[in-house]
Structure 1
Amino acid sequence: PLRMLRAARFLAGYHLEPVPELVAAVREHAHRLEIVSAERIRDELDKLLEVPDPSAGLWFVVDTGLADQFLPELPAMRLEQDPIHHHKDVLAHTIAVVAKTRPERLVRLAALLHDVGKPKTRSFGDNGVTFHHHEVVGARMARDRMQALKYSNDDVEAVRKLVYLHLRFHGYGDGWTDAAVRRFVRDAGDQYERLVDLTASDCTTRNKRKAAMLARRMDEFKARVGELAEQEALDAIRPDLDGRQVMEHLGIGPGRHVGQALDMLLEARLDEGPLGEDEAFRRVDAWWAAQGGSTAEGIAPTTGG
């Protein structure tokens, strides 16, 4: 039975067209996939998603009924996003997004599952069709399906996070503060690069102007992330000693001299890199001697006892 799934990968990987006899045979025997272990199905799905363009294979598993056996959320997305304006259905959009992402297992899984919450959240109102909170519902559905397919906890959490956050960037055009950019990066965590890939690929519009605008915003956003990362890397650099160590070493209390000593050490670190504590204490001694060795702002040296 697993050969039926393997056929989907071969169709996609070698750009083949399924003959009617193959389609008919798979439709007839698709139910036999239920005797195959979840782990083997999972592995075959991963291999399909890693071919350069898995579109033909994904359509094959839907059209033959194979997807009903292990990923019923996929055929369930065969509904129009907006029946009034006849936008492409959710499934067609999903497969297009998968094809646009780089052929890496987890980002492709996230692309495959990013809109699974839409059928359950679709509603019609005065302003047309909406899918409010489909990312929240979809994240739960993605988690449940991946657990059923025996994916590792790390894989499940990675894809759940990507599905949950896949809409976050779309508010960027409203003018994000630096804090909002930092929050996006923090929330994405180690999935940041995959989230950027998924977000960029989620634009499948034929409107070239709209697509160019999104690409420009994404480039601006990535540039801001880079600038903030550089700044925060600089901000994270600290002197090799802290204020307490300086005070104890020099035998002085709090005051401007402590701050000046730390500034001197910070400048040395920026210029030379980490000094190490021994060298830092030597620099403090030399600096302190150049100051005349006076106590800070008239505060007497600290003494034991």
Structure 2
Amino acid sequence: MVGTVYLKTERFEVKLEGITFKVKEFENLCTKDFLFPEGKVWLHRPIVGLDVMRHPRDPNTVLLLLCVGTGCVILRFHVNEVLPAPIRRFLTDERICYVGFGIHDKNDLFPFEKLGLRKSKVDVAYLAAKFLKDPKLKNCELAELARKVLRINKIVGVTEAWSFERHEQIKIGICELFISSVIAMMLLDRNKSMTLDVKKLESPTIRITKKENKICVEECEGKGGSESDDSGKVASCSTTTTQRQLKGILKSPSSGLGCSRQISVNSSASKGQKMAQGSNCLRRANSKGHNVSFRDN
């Protein structure tokens, strides 16, 4: 387990969970067609965010991040390792809408093009340019897209202190992944208003959990603002007096993400801070919105 990240913006609060899977475990889930269990009907194609990054402590290992709901599946592969057939079928399943941000800058790490994951269909910047009819958005950074599509100007993420240094970069990736997917959700929402106002997400979702080495896949009716969304925990994370010891992993340097376009690591981080500075820009993807509560201004 990578652990939990509490992500808070002025538009929503969410608890994100990073779950490390062995490749064989996820192969079995893919074989069972876990996103489409018997009797499950999606009104629209489910959105799955994906990204890839080098392991922070092992340059020969690649981490594949797949965000489903508020859970982020993390798989480890060796560089240039051949993907198992069940996982390849999952990543090429046309029933699923895959989204990401800047992933095609990483084709040397993962065969996105060979899997048919072209940036014109996957990259949220290209989707924004298409749906908002503004070609300039293709070159926007994720922070700018969040401001234009979601009206988010401030992002704060906090995590348990015990996992701060060890998993800092991965947790930043999870947060970025989720923001990317929420952008895609709004752009692809067929019932959205022309202004793309953020609203409650009421799509049913599949939640993946891993307890005592057992994998559970359960169907949840994810309603924004439900009592089970841990929104109270998220709100309390903005202070320094919480029951758990928490540290900030990412924070917008000002109320205007669009001006700075950078996500900076909290000054309380010492070890590993320099490593993270080179990849501090928001650039990744995730999810379908279970446990997210949106607030109307």
Asked if these proteins are the same fold (TM beyond 0.5), I'd say no
Q: Which has the higher helix share?
A: 1
Which structure is larger by alpha-carbon Rg, 1 or 2?
A: 1
- TM-score for the superposition, normalised by structure 1: 0.27
* Structure (1/2) with the larger strand percentage: 2
TM-score of the pair, normalised by structure 2 = 0.27
- Relative contact order: is structure 1 or structure 2 higher (C-alpha 8 Å, sep ≥ 6)? 2
